[in-house]
């Protein structure tokens, strides 16, 4: 699975959009980009995933560049509850070996 690079930490004002970048320059053609977050000491929570196209769900939007070497997770209106560590993970299609490789993620601090 491709390796990812994320900033160690970011700050965001409450109500503003939080844009979390991720580099995955060695991603293969059939690998997906996943985002999870971990609030305090809880278990990680799945946010969103994508292959080529931009994706949006009730939690966030995922923007993947055309060359697929980087992506951005967007929380459109961040709240204090969005303070967490966000993990960008690249892995193969479902049905392949069932692994998620977590890095150290980006610690997002949402402030008043």
Does 46 bind another protein (CB under 8 A)? Our answer is yes
Min. distance of Cβ 13 from another protein in angstroms?
26
Question: Following DSSP, what letter does each residue of the chain receive, concatenated?
Answer: ----B--SEEEEETTS-EEEEEE-TT--TTPEEEEEEE-TTSPPEEEEEESSS-EE-SS-EEEE-TTSSEEEEEETT--GGG-EEEEEEEE--TTS---------EEEEEE-
| Comparison of 42 and 53: residue with beta carbon closer to another protein | 42
Q: How many residues bind another protein (CB under 8 A)?
A: 22
Q: Is 59 in the site for another protein (CB under 8 A)?
A: no
Contacts with another protein, residue ranges (CB under 8 A): 32, 34, 36, 41-46, 49, 87, 94-95, 97-105
């Amino acid at each position: 699975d491709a390796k990812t690079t994320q900033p160690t930490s970011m700050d965001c004002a409450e109500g503003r959009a939080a844009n979390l970048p991720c580099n995955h320059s060695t991603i293969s053609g059939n690998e997906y980009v996943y985002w999870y977050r971990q609030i305090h000491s809880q278990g990680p929570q799945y946010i969103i995933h994508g292959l080529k196209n931009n994706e949006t769900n009730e939690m966030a939007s995922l923007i993947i560049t055309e060359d697929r070497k980087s992506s951005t997770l967007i929380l459109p209106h961040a709240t204090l509850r969005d303070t967490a560590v966000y993990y960008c993970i690249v892995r193969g299609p479902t049905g392949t070996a069932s692994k998620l490789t977590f890095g150290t993620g980006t610690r997002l601090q949402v402030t008043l």
